Amino acid sequence: MDPRLAGVRKRLAGIDRIIAVTGGKGGIGKSVVSVSLSLLLAESGLRTGLLDLDLTGPTDHVLLGLDFGEQFPSEEFGVDPMLVGGVRFMSIACFSKQSPAALRGRDVTNALIEMLAITRWDELDVLVLDMPPGLGDTSLDIVRLLERAEHLVLATSSRVVLETVRRTLDVLAQLRTRVLGVLENMKSDSSQAVEQLASRFSVPYLGSLPEDSSLELATGTAESLVRTPTARALREVISAVFPQVRGS
């Protein structure tokens, strides 16, 4: 018996909602949305956590502009998340710093369980999970270990993205996961393809975020990230999901 699983259940017991930002395709804005969503929720007074689950390619610390220096997260009865922009944040990069780690499937599962077992989130209203691209070990483990996670599926209207997102939605449906809805990113035209895809799977279409040339400049500063056109649109979208978040 792996006692870590009981440990994980206990560690996550004080968390009200878990939202996994996913999509299957790489580079469609999962990390930008995870980080911005966390910052906006925290700004609205919700106790918010962010866990970067892209274990081989973590980037949330870059978006947040976190410099780990020599320090490890503080520890007492477990490991404390770091605090940035009001968000409690944890990433494998808090430990590996600059060093890359190439992981095979079983390592991914083990590292994920380990992080969930050691991190002390305490009480949270929302824990946001930034998922890696692909439909692999991390996705399956999150579905298996965190049944109550709600999946926020990101998509763009590009045909290659739609093809992958379609497969992701299909798998999520077969696994009987909860899909919060589909969020369209980098919207630059009037295509309705993403909306149509959502309706094919009978999941809500949550709205869209614009193609936003200011994002790169805002990267690395939490205060700037919540003031981008993307964040403004995202605030509107999530105000429908979280009544505590007020749109403009």
Partner 1 sequence: MHEFALADAVISAALETADKQNLSHITAIAVRIGELQQIDRETFEFALKEVIPNSEPRLAGTSITLEVQHASFRCRACEAEFTLDQTRGPLVEDQLEAIHFIPELARAFIRCPDCRSLDFELLTGRGVSIDYIEGE
Ligand X SMILES: Nc1ncnc2c1ncn2[C@@H]1O[C@H](COP(=O)(O)OP(=O)(O)OP(=O)(O)O)[C@@H](O)[C@H]1O
Residues near 176 by beta carbon (within 8 Å), at least 6 away in sequence: none
Pairing of strands 178-187, 150-155: parallel
Structure tokens at 61: 């610390």
Question: Is residue 30 a contact residue for Mg ion (CB under 5 A)?
Answer: yes
Pick the piece of the chain touching partner 1 (CB under 8 A) from 37-45, 99-107, 157-165, 223-231. Answer: 99-107
d(CA 176, CA 166): 15
Q: Which is nearer to ligand X, 11 or 164 (CB)?
A: 164
| Residue 5 touches which of Mg ion, partner 1, ligand X, none (Cβ within 5-8 Å per kind) | partner 1
| Residue 1 touches which of partner 1, ligand X, Mg ion, none (Cβ within 5-8 Å per kind) | partner 1
Applying CB under 8 A, the site for partner 1 has a residue count of: 36
Residues near 21 by beta carbon (within 8 Å), at least 6 away in sequence: 30, 33, 34, 37, 128, 129, 130, 131, 152, 154
Least separation in angstroms between CB 62 and ligand X: 9
* Bridge partners (DSSP) listed for residue 129: 20, 51
Pick the piece of the chain touching Mg ion (CB under 5 A) from 54-62, 87-95, 179-187, 190-198. Answer: 54-62
Our measurement of the distance from residue 135's CA atom to the centroid of its chain's CA atoms, rounded to an integer in Å, reads: 15
Q: Which is nearer to partner 1, 95 or 205 (CB)?
A: 95
* Bridge partners (DSSP) listed for residue 182: 153, 205
Residues near Mg ion, by CB under 5 A: 30-31, 54
Residues near partner 1, by CB under 8 A: 1-11, 55, 70, 72, 75-79, 92, 95-97, 99-103, 107-108, 110-111, 114-115, 117-118
